[in-house]
Amino acid sequence: MKFQEYNYERPNMETFTSMFNAALESFENAETVLAQEAAIDTINKLRFDFQTMQTLVSIRHSINTKDEFYDKEQTFFDENGPRFEQLNNKFYKALSNTKFVNELKEKKGALLFQQAEQSLRTFNDAILEDLQKENSLVSKYDKLMASAEIDFEGEIRNLSQMAPFSQHKDRDTRRRASAAISKFFSDHEETFDDLYDELVKVRSTIAEKLGYENFIELAYDRLGRLDYGPDDVSNYRKQVKETIVPYVKTLVERKGKRLGIEKMKSYDLALEFLSGNPTPKGKKDWLVNQAHTMYTEMSKETKEFFEFMMDKNLMDLEAKKGKSGGGYCTYIPNYESPFIFANFNGTSHDVDVLTHEAGHAFQVYMSRHHEVPEYMWATLEASEIHSMSMEFFAWPWIDKFFKEDTEKYKFSHLAGALSFIPYGVAVDEFQHRVYEKPSMTKEERKLTWREIEKTYLPYKEYDNDPFLERGGFWFRQGHIYAVPFYYIDYTLAQVCAFQYWVKAQENHQNAWQSYLELCKTGGSKSFLGLLKVAGLKNPFDDGSIATTIPPLKSFLDGIDDTKL
């Protein structure tokens, strides 16, 4: 079967709830471990059934947000997702209280029970309506972003389709593109502000009802962070500020020199070279064929994986009107199928997003053997190691995509990955500040963002754009709205992916074997436990960033970028 043939049928929540409760009763009344395991198998099948339908709707709705059928089905899951979570919570409670806990830990692993206890803290029946409201607000944000219709250069374009103009060689085109994008956000400023204001309030209310001091604590538990907390992240941000921010500032200065721009503005930052940014030398079908060649040669595992994705049409890659922005990978349990979603626009980002999301998809494909559903995916910061490292493992084949732009791409890819970290850290600090003081006004939030921007991105100067100058850039960062506190995960993973870049330069095969083992382990260990499996340094430890960055600086400083 191909993805288009995967069957969707809306779950009957009354029937589903009845079946789930019956299986749960069997679990609780079981007299043997074997009987409890059989009940767990039944519960897991029910969970997979629900998640399969929910994921099919999510994918098909994001492919076309104007499809009325899937728009209604998305609303159904926004409303009933919390009811599913309610049932899941009952399962976790029963799991934590079983008299066979030691025997089940031996069979299923102790991590599942730690995750269950953590999850129990994040839900009770009193927050059901609040969760439904939170889901609804996030869906409204997604639809607002997808609604962008920007009249530029004689055509109506969405936000993804504006990206090539933001990287245009002509400075005035870049300036006008930046202004056109900014106008969409400023025209809808009140709506973006109101949506976030409501999200902050409802999330703070949920945290209060659950007995947390603030939403920050709840967010860390929601994200499954078992072995680090806000203090560790604060220390990590401090390392970034001391070690990476100064070097990124020099990279921006180098860029200004090679572009011949004395005073760089924000709309200049997306352009890398006067001769133009590196671009892939073909469109979607050609790119997929190059990726097929790459993954065929990379390993037998990647060959099998990518051919599975191609054969079943498990990738939707082109930007289209009505399509949600961004890119993601998800998993359809009953069909054992990863799915890759992207918005190709003719920039190097097309290759980045393809290799990045393929890293996620490859990991979950390699983790399908885990009997415990929770172990198929790692927590988010660990999952981003798979994706970001795959971008670097693609380097030996990157010439297939970029031809004469290969050296340009390698320089801008590595420099861009380094330059991203301060921005990712800024997004994280902003969210900590907001949820520490949820009573902030809308104007105070924007002032706070601009203050943080000046700390981590001191080179970012807005030119005659009062909306951005007073702190409106963060509207476009969907994670802030949809998945609070997730964004720091990208930066933690990037530091780990840098370690794979270094390992691959030294011994590509050894580095790949470590990565393969990490993918197979899935989420059966915590974040720091997975780092031990892979032999990677802990990014929270003092000095970890300072010892990781020098080989990257050496590579970049050894290139005469003025000749690219």
CA distance 237 to 232: 9
Query: Both tokens of residue 176?
Result: 């006008």
Q: Pick the closest to residue 258 from 332, 353, 48, 250 (CA basis).
A: 250
Instruction: Quote the distance between the C-alpha of residue 209 and its chain's center.
Output: 28
CA distances from 446 to 11, 101, 430, 449 (A): 42, 49, 10, 5
Rg (the chain; Cα; Å):
23
The single-letter code of the amino acid at 111 is L
**Both structure tokens of 157:** 């374009």
Phi/psi for 499 (5° steps) reads -65, -40
With vertex at residue 341, the alpha carbon angle to CA 340 and CA 342, rounded to the nearest 5 degrees, is 125
pLDDT digits (tens, 9 = 90+) for 141-185: 999 999 999 999 999 999 989 999 999 999 999 999 999 999 999
Span 432-455, average pLDDT: 98
DSSP-derived secondary structure letter, 507: -
CA distance 200 to 435: 7
Structural domains of the chain, count: 1
Per-residue model confidence (pLDDT) at position 142 = 93
Three-state SS at 525: coil
Instruction: Give the per-residue pLDDT at 325.
Output: 86
Phi, psi torsion values for 151, nearest 5 degrees: -80, 105
pLDDT of residue 326: 87
Cα separation of 352 and 358, whole Å?
10
What's the gap between Cα 262 and its chain centre? 35
Asked whether residue 123 is domain-assigned, the answer is yes
Q: Which long-range contacts (CB under 8 A, 24 or more apart) does 124-131 make?
A: 124/89, 124/209, 124/210, 125/86, 126/209, 127/82, 127/206, 127/209, 127/210, 128/82, 128/83, 128/86, 130/202, 130/205, 130/206, 130/209, 131/81, 131/82, 131/85, 131/206
- Rounded Cα gap, residues 143 and 66, in angstroms: 9
- 470, 187 Cβ separation under 8 angstroms: no
Q: Element (H or E) spanning 329, and its range?
A: strand 328-332
Alpha-carbon distance of 532 to 227, in angstroms, equals 13
Q: How confident is the model at residue 466 (pLDDT cuts 50, 70, 90)?
A: very high
| Strand order, beta sheet including 315-318 | 315-318, 337-344, 328-332
pTM: 0.92
Three-state secondary structure readout of 41-61:
HHHHHHHHHHHHHHHHHHHHH
Query: What DSSP string describes 106-161?
Result: HHH-HHHHHHHHHHHHT--GGGHHHHHHHHHHHHHHHHHHHT--EEETTEEE-TGG
pLDDT computed for residue 44 by the predictor = 95
Q: How far does CA 177 lie from the centroid of its chain?
A: 26
What are the two backbone dihedrals, phi and then psi, of residue 469, each rounded to the nearest 5 degrees? -65, -30
Report the percent of the chain where pLDDT is more than 90: 98
Question: Mean pLDDT, the chain, as a whole number?
Answer: 96
Distances (CA, A) of 457 to 81, 433, 451: 38, 17, 10
Give the tens place of pLDDT for each residue, 36-87: 999 999 999 999 999 999 999 999 999 999 999 999 999 999 999 999 999 9
| Residue 94 belongs to some domain of the structure | yes
- The CA angle 410-492-389, to the nearest 5 degrees, is 40
**How far, in whole angstroms, is CA 210 from its chain's centroid?**
26
Three-state DSSP at 458 gives: coil
For residue 119, is it within any domain?
yes
Tell me, what's the pLDDT at 371? 87
Is residue 22 situated within a structural domain? yes
Evaluate whether 457 touches 422 at the Cβ level (below 8 Å).
Answer: yes
Percent helix, percent strand, percent coil in the chain, to nearest 5? 70, 5, 25
Count of Cβ atoms closer than 10 Å to residue 526 Cβ: 20
**Cβ 220 vs Cβ 214: under 8 Å:** no
C-alpha distances out from residue 553 to 72, 177, 247, 503, 559, Å? 50, 32, 8, 15, 10
Task: Say if 348 falls within a structural domain.
Answer: no
CA distances to 60, 140, 221, 446 from 203, in Å: 27, 16, 13, 19
User: How far is residue 40's CA from residue 504's CA, in Å, rounded to a whole number?
Assistant: 41
Helix residue ranges, H only, 367-456: 380-393, 399-402, 406-436, 442-456
The answer to whether residue 375 sits within a structural domain is: no
* pLDDT tens digits along 311-349: 999 999 999 989 998 899 999 999 999 999 999 999 999
Q: Cα 525–36–364 angle (5° rounding)?
A: 35
Burial class (CB in 10 A: 0-12, 13-18, 19+), 227: middle
Contact 344, 284 (CB under 8 A): yes
* Token code pair at residue 241: 């500020």
Asked whether residue 59 is domain-assigned, the answer is: yes
pLDDT of 137 strictly over 90: yes
Tell me the CA end-to-end span of the chain in Å, nearest whole number.
Answer: 46
Q: What is the pLDDT of residues 251-277, one digit of tens each?
A: 999 999 999 999 999 999 999 999 989
Q: Give me the domain span that covers residue 96.
A: 3-134
Residue with tokens 């011949």: 260
Q: Does 61 fall in a domain?
A: yes
